[in-house]
Amino acid sequence: MRRKKVCFVGYGSTEYSRKSESPLLWYYAEAIRNALRQTGLHKKEIQGLSITTQVSPDYSPHVAEQLGLEVDWVLNGDYGGSGGVMSVRRAADAIEAGHVELIVLVGANSFDKSVPQQRLLEYQRANYIDVYGYGGPNTLMALIQRLHMEQYGTTLDQIGKIAMAQRENALNNPQALFREPMGFQAYLNSRMISDPIRLLDCVMPCSGAECVILASEEKAKKITDKLVYLVTDAEKSHYQVANMLPDKTTFGTKVVGERIFTEVKRENIDLFEIYDDYPIAVMIQIEDLGYCKKGEGGKFVEAHDLTYKGDFPVNTGGGQLSVGQAGLAGGFLHLVEALRQLRGEAEGHQVKKAERALVTGIGWLNYGRNLGTTSALVMERRK
């Protein structure tokens, strides 16, 4: 294949030393800084980041947070010695597809023994969050839910409605770990985990896996007559990272929604598979996708039927809240459920008109803000 319009515009190196114990983060930053100096670019022009390393810190979104980078594309080029070329290939794909115009790629090593193989998440969480006895992500989301309730008057009835509608969607889903109906009293009285987050606001971690296969249109037509097209997709990582007075109740999903809905109309989506680590996160994503104003998510869910039979079907198989969260396969659960729906294979919980689905992802609760990674895509069944 031949690339058409992707260019290398600059580079940056650091000094090398036999045994330096300067932090790996310093090495990332210094190499990038040298490249920025050479090109005259400002840090805020960086739209994408790829990191390649075999020592901690090695989660690409966490490095982005550490470097204060709010980016629209992020990659861990974990391909060993092939990491340079292979991350360039993936970065070039993103640029050619028109997702971003400028990507910084960096590989680094350090012998810093002060962070022995600890995941980067542990820098900000271990040192500035965990030390206070927090309750994990349950606490970080609880802070957001409290703000949403106090700033906008959102009620537990409204939040609970999301959990209950998803449970109803799970009743006929054989994969779901939770298939007993959930009433409001059961939701309200479920064990308090991190006030105001209750047990029935939380997902059940479980084992499991989900897989999807993508193909070119030409190849796809030879495989299936159930053609589901990827229509549009967008992402935003570490929204508000450099804002020391962030709005915790607005996710990067806001930017994602603005991009998605330049390609499709909101009213043309038939069903919504919204990443549901917590019901409040579902509500906030509905707001941020622009289906209602910020703060009106509670009124919105009151006014709509979120079950698979309803006018705004959400998490039609029950979502992670009722099916279970198989770790990071959770982000795939919604993709697979959307595919089932569009292919007419969601027996027992099939949305009647299922031509176009919106699927979201959110991940990595970050420091002082909300979700470090946010994303969405639209898929469409074409006959």
Residue pair 380/217 in contact (Cβ under 8 Å)? The answer is: no
Say whether residue 134 binds other proteins (CB under 8 A): yes
Least distance (Å) from other proteins to the CB of residue 134? 5
Size of the site for other proteins (CB under 8 A): 58
Helices (H) and strands (E) in the chain, counts: 13, 9
Give Cα 183 to chain centroid, integer Å. Answer: 29
Q: At closest approach, how far in Å is the CB of 46 from other proteins?
A: 9
Report if residue 285 touches other proteins, rule: CB under 8 A.
no
Q: Is 19 in the site for other proteins (CB under 8 A)?
A: no
Give yes or no for a cis peptide into 196 (omega within 30° of 0): yes
**Token pair belonging to 152:** 């906008």
CB 375, min distance to other proteins, A:
22
Q: Does 193 bind other proteins (CB under 8 A)?
A: yes
**Interaction between residue 20 and other proteins (CB under 8 A):** no
Name the DSSP letter for residue 198: E
Q: Could you give the string, one character per residue 146-165, with x where binding to other proteins holds by CB under 8 A and - elsewhere?
A: xx--x---------------
* Alpha carbon separation from 302 to 50, 126, 158, 283 (Å, rounded): 42, 39, 6, 11
**The one among 6, 12, 14, 23 contacting other proteins by CB under 8 A:** 23
Say whether residue 102 binds other proteins (CB under 8 A).
Answer: no
11 interacts with other proteins by CB under 8 A: no
Do the beta carbons of residue 286 and residue 251 sit within 8 Å?
no
Question: Which amino acid does the sequence have at 142?
Answer: A
The amino acid that residue 276 corresponds to is D
Identify which of residues 80 and 133 has a Cβ nearer to other proteins in the complex: 133
Answer for which of 10, 12, 14, 26 binds other proteins (CB under 8 A) is: 26
Residue 194 contacts other proteins per CB under 8 A: yes
Which listed residue (10, 12, 14, 30) binds other proteins by CB under 8 A? Answer: 30
Which DSSP letter does residue 191 get? P
| Nearest approach, Cβ of residue 261 and other proteins (Å) | 29
Rank residues 124 and 232 by Cβ distance to other proteins and give the closer one.
Answer: 124
H or E element, residue 236: strand 227-237
Distance of CA 27 to the CA centre of its chain: 27
DSSP line for 51-97 = EE-SSS---HHHHHHHTT--BSEEEE---GGGHHHHHHHHHHHHHHT
Region from 36-44, 170-178, 341-349, 356-364 binding other proteins, contact rule CB under 8 A: 36-44
The answer to whether 133 contacts other proteins (rule: CB under 8 A) is yes
CB nearer other proteins, residue 240 or residue 341:
240
Tokens linked to 215: 């193909």
Angle at 379 between CA 294 and CA 296, to 5 degrees: 10
9 binds other proteins (CB under 8 A): no
Binder to other proteins among 49, 74, 75, 142 (CB under 8 A)? 142
3-class DSSP state for residue 102? coil
> Which one, 148 or 334, has the nearer CB to other proteins?
148
Q: Does 36 bind other proteins (CB under 8 A)?
A: yes
- Footprint of other proteins on 44-83 (CB under 8 A): 66-68
Which is closer to other proteins, CB of 66 or CB of 341? 66
CA distance 289 to 258: 7
Count of beta carbons in the 10 Å neighbourhood of residue 219 = 9
Q: Contact, 197 vs 143, CB < 8 A?
A: no
Q: Please identify which residue in the block is written with the tokens 């249109």.
A: 217
Where do contacts with other proteins occur on this chain (CB under 8 A)? 21-23, 25-26, 28-30, 32-33, 36, 42-43, 66-68, 112, 114-115, 118, 122-124, 126-136, 138-139, 142-144, 146-147, 150, 191-197, 241-242, 244-246, 248, 367-369
